[in-house]
Amino acid sequence: MDERIMWPSRAAAWLAQNRHELMIGAAAAVAAVALMLVLREIGRQIAARDPHCRTWRSVIGRVFARTSIVFMVVAALDVLASYSEPPERIARLIDVAFIIVAALQAAVWARELVMGILAQKAGDEPGETSLDNARAVIRVLVSVALFAIAVIVILDNLGVNVTALVAGLGIGGIAIGLAAQGIFSDLFAALSILFDKPFRRGDTISFGNSVGTVERIGLKTTRLRALSGEQLVMANTKLLDQEIRNLAEGQSRRTSLNFGITYQTPTEKLEAIPDLARQAVESRRGCAFVRCAMTGFGPSSLDHELLFDVTTVDPNVLAADRTAIMMHILREFAERKIDFAYPTQTTFTAAPDGKMIMPYAAAPARR
């Protein structure tokens, strides 16, 4: 008898024989699809409320939101087949379809998980340096790696010998890594900057002999605007190899002011200098006096150091406070006839009778 004629009767007999199992399997499949649809909708709502993935809840929601309808349908068929006993060819076809779709879906979930973790760690905040500079390249690299693994898993489950393929991919990866070693090192350095956050866009940093404001953190280089106006371009790897001072992270800035006083200054005036310096610092709002002390005997001066804190990191405010304090000290010293020293040399000569001629007038005797 023709096989095409017998097939409907066999199908009817199979349905009648497995109707209870089919009903249970269909109920389980519908429940599984309904659960996945609910999780996908919840994930979409969470991802919409927090597109920058600031929390782990947003990362998981982003993963659930990427569940595909094709995966749901094939998973439902696999659940249905597990409860019933379909013909061998149909069961094999469902198994192959589930392996392929599940591997690809797992790759999509893993990609979204990795990208979500990167976004959370890097801190995607509006107006700050974020993964937007590197997202496209990172997404391509992660996608290639994960989908390559998915293809290998699919081929291995289908009975294909993937040993040669894995070896070839390994050799190719090593060759590409060696050829693009510099690019990858700068890329990973950029990720280190995004994760560790030693500085962000808009911060003023100091490295080596350079000072500048960060304008952009790219995949290979970081661009800064120097205080003198020109743009500084620094490779990320070389930048991280240096000591970096982030001038924007401090809550206050300690400022040092050095000056020298002439040796001819009377001791009572020298003793009054710390109080005069304190008054000069405290005359400026936001400035806190630390100390003013004599630091040494210089070649031409009695060296002093004034330390004070300014509760700001704005360089313009710092410059204005420093100037105002210096002007206040100049006025007070001029009023009290305290002379600043400058590099000088004093020559001592002798009269014909051998007596020393003083180069300056002798101080009046005290009564």
Architecture of the structural domain at 253-335: 2-Layer Sandwich (3.30)
Q: Please list the residues that pair with 253 across neighbouring strands.
A: 310
Token pair 């020559």 in the structure block, residue:
347
Residue 123 Ramachandran class (φ > 0 left, ψ -120 to 50 alpha, else beta): left
Determine the Cα–Cα distance for residues 75 and 97; give it in Å rounded to an integer: 9
Determine the Cα–Cα distance for residues 118 and 335; give it in Å rounded to an integer: 63
pLDDT over 70 at 123, yes or no = no
Q: Write down the pLDDT at residue 129.
A: 45
pTM, two decimals, is 0.54
Cβ–Cβ under 8 Å, residues 260 and 243: no
Query: Which range (76-90, 99-113, 130-144) has the least confidence?
Result: 130-144
Task: State the CATH class of domain 196-246.
Answer: mainly beta
| Dihedral sign of CA atoms 73, 79, 81, 83 in order | negative
Angle at 127 between CA 142 and CA 108, to 5 degrees: 20
Between 223 and 178, the higher pLDDT residue: 223
List the one residue out of 79, 78, 76, 86 whose CA is nearest residue 14: 86
| Dihedral sign of CA atoms 237, 241, 243, 249 in order | positive
State the helix-helix crossing angle for 19-49 and 69-83, rounded to 10 degrees. 150
Cβ–Cβ under 8 Å, residues 91 and 81: yes
Between 3 and 320, the higher pLDDT residue: 320
List the one residue out of 113, 166, 171 whose CA is nearest residue 142: 113
List the domain boundaries for the chain: 11-179, 196-246, 253-335
